[in-house]
């Protein structure tokens, strides 16, 4: 059983932080981590886990800057340009996986000695692992059973073919009641 919290991020990491704080969920997340839960942030979730997010150009919000949750020693500066790319990466143990990035801004690491979430094929470090806090920009990393097992430190049930298999199952379910002859008529 994975005793943790997953922060996916949504529209704007600064607006998401404001939403969390307005509901007291920032304190709840801190409590969860301090009592043994692992916190994983992907993309905007990774940015929120840092010390601060700066948006001087108002790219994603009108807040300007906001303190982050402080779980990771990073600071993000949002920018007008968006990073979008597919990558091949490997975990610190050497496990290879495919993923993609789609984010605004640059996240800077403020302390030496922190382990990356992964290394990209060009040698670039992605994200960070520090204690029970994990952040990454790599969407799709958690579709890899091996990546999940490495993070948890134990085997997980078989994925039954992964995401593509599940999409095919969904397509088969959707297509089953369809009268195909209707689509063949002229």
Contacts of 103 (CB under 8 A, 6+ apart): 43, 44, 47, 82, 83, 137
Which two structure tokens, joined as six digits, stand for 46?
């990774």
Catalytic-labelled residue, pool 43, 114, 154, 168: 43
CB 104 within 8 A of CB 79: yes
114 is annotated as an active-site residue: no
Query: How far is the C-alpha of 29 from the C-alpha of 37, rounded, in Å?
Result: 9
Catalytic-labelled residue, pool 103, 139, 154, 180: 139
CB 72 within 8 A of CB 108: no
Query: How far is the C-alpha of 119 from the C-alpha of 88, rounded, in Å?
Result: 9
43 is annotated as an active-site residue: yes
Helix, strand, coil fractions of the chain, as percent rounded to 5:
30, 30, 40
In the block, residue with structure tokens 């969904």: 170
Question: Among the residues of 35-103, which ranges form H helices?
Answer: 44-48
Question: What are the catalytic residues?
Answer: 43, 139
């Amino acid at each position: 059983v994975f005793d943790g919290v997953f922060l996916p991020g949504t529209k704007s990491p600064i607006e998401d932080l404001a939403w969390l704080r307005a509901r007291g969920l920032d304190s709840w997340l801190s409590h969860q981590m301090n009592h043994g839960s692992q916190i994983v942030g992907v993309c905007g979730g990774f940015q929120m886990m840092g010390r601060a997010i700066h948006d001087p150009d108002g790219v994603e919000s009108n807040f300007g800057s906001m303190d982050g949750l402080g779980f990771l020693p990073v600071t993000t500066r949002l920018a007008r340009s968006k990073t979008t790319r597919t990558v091949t990466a490997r975990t610190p143990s050497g496990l290879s996986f495919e993923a993609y990035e789609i984010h605004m801004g640059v996240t800077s690491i403020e302390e030496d000695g922190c382990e990356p979430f992964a290394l990209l094929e060009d040698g670039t470090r992605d994200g960070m692992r520090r204690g029970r806090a994990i952040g990454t920009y790599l969407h799709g990393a958690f579709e890899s059973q091996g990546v999940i097992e490495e993070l948890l430190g134990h085997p997980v049930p078989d994925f039954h073919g992964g995401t593509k298999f599940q999409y095919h199952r969904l397509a088969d379910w959707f297509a089953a009641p369809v009268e195909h002859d209707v689509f063949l008529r002229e």
